[in-house]
Amino acid sequence: MTNSLPLRYGTNPQQSPARVFMRDGDLPITVLNGSPGYINLLDALNAWQLVRELKNATGLPAATSFKHVSPSGAAVATPLSDVLRKIYFVDDLDLSPLAVAYARARGVDRMSSFGDFIALSDTVDVPTAKLIAREVSDGVVAPAYESAALEILKKKKQGKYAVVQIDSTYEPALTETRDVFGVTFEQQRHDRALTRADFTNIVTQKKDLPESAIRDMLIAWIALKYTQSNSVCYVTDGQVIGVGAGQQSRVHCVRLAGTKADLWRLRQHPKILSLPFKADIKRPDRDNAIDQFLQPDVTDAEKKNWANVFTEVPNQLTPEERRAWLDGMTDVTLGSDAFFPFRDSIDRAVKSGVKYVFEPGGSNRDEDVIAACDEYGMTMAFTGVRLFHH
């Protein structure tokens, strides 16, 4: 163990020298392979907290895919349908519960997860290592690694893949500090536990909150705790399906995350599942092609490029086909790290199948937001807690 780790550079290559260190005691991390960077470790430490809390809250193996200090996906190990196995590109693999959690976390927004940093709640096993080995990723953090899994990961990126082990018993000091422009900030660490009790204040006419919705609320709630604010999160079936992070406007968060949730749903359309890709097209190129294919405003020049990836250029989904398929997405949970100031977020959320909502409450227009939920037959809980993260 050591109390200091030198880094190649900081946030940017011109920010050197750089390191991470402990003022007291040893670092809680050990680098088993590669050389993680400054941003890698920011992702790793935030992502580890997320999966640790998810595992503690649900009892299920948890995984997250982090990019630029926010999750692009997070999930627990719930069974995968054949369709999800196909759109996540894992229909040829035997998956352990931990591998299922990562397949979900990675697969929901594969473009945003390109070059991710992974966090896993449990000991990394061989099935999970095999899945990671074939994805474009910068590194992984976990409490332990099976020896065979570690050997698989050490071969990734010509032996330079960052593999970090974290002490699962480590708890930081209650007070945390941060330097910005030579000024030191100090505050109490955000150690408030997030539990199902946070969803008991139901303020809408509809009061039903099934166990699956409570689980999904917990997943959204914990994901938001480690997402750059403003942020909202759509969750269904035990996994995040859309994250809106770092926007100045609440409704723009909702629109951004809703668009991602819609794309996740549209990828499951039979026409998308049967797209005629050429045999030698790699997964990232498939991801890019699918994303472009699902955009409604593709230019003729962009369509010409499809000849490079498809054996024959198919027709895009019509607006009617898109809407009909999206209308089949139901029982989605929407969580927000702060209150909704207007009903516009609810009006957008219903288009993505949202049925359950939680937010802190406390806006001057709470009654308008509640009325919108009542209009759409949603169940909404006020948590009374804001979860900003910067």
- Catalytic residue numbers, as ranges: 67-68, 230, 390
Report helix angle 147-154 to 126-133, nearest 10: 10
Query: Cβ atoms within 10 A of the Cβ of 136, count?
Result: 15
- Which tokens hold the place of 205? 């006419």
In the block, residue with structure tokens 């909702």: 254
Taking the C-alpha atoms of residue 235 and residue 258, their distance in angstroms, rounded to an integer, is: 11
Taking the C-alpha atoms of residue 169 and residue 67, their distance in angstroms, rounded to an integer, is: 25
Q: Going by C-beta distance under 8 Å and a sequence separation of 6 or more, which residues neighbour residue 129?
A: 145, 146, 148, 149, 150, 152, 153
SS3 for 215? helix
Peptide bond before residue 79 is cis, with ω within 30 degrees of 0: no
Taking the C-alpha atoms of residue 153 and residue 63, their distance in angstroms, rounded to an integer, is: 17
CA atoms within a 13 Å half-sphere pointing along the CA-CB vector of 242: 28
Q: Which of 61, 64, 148, 130 shows the shortest CA–CA distance to 97? A: 61
Q: Residue 145 gets which letter from DSSP?
A: B
Taking the C-alpha atoms of residue 356 and residue 204, their distance in angstroms, rounded to an integer, is: 10
Taking the C-alpha atoms of residue 167 and residue 355, their distance in angstroms, rounded to an integer, is: 39
- Which tokens hold the place of 174? 């209650």
Q: How many helices (H) and strands (E) would you count in the chain?
A: 13, 15
Q: Where are the beta strands (DSSP E) in 18-112?
A: 18-21, 29-33, 62-67, 70-76
Helix (H) or strand (E) holding 6: strand 4-7
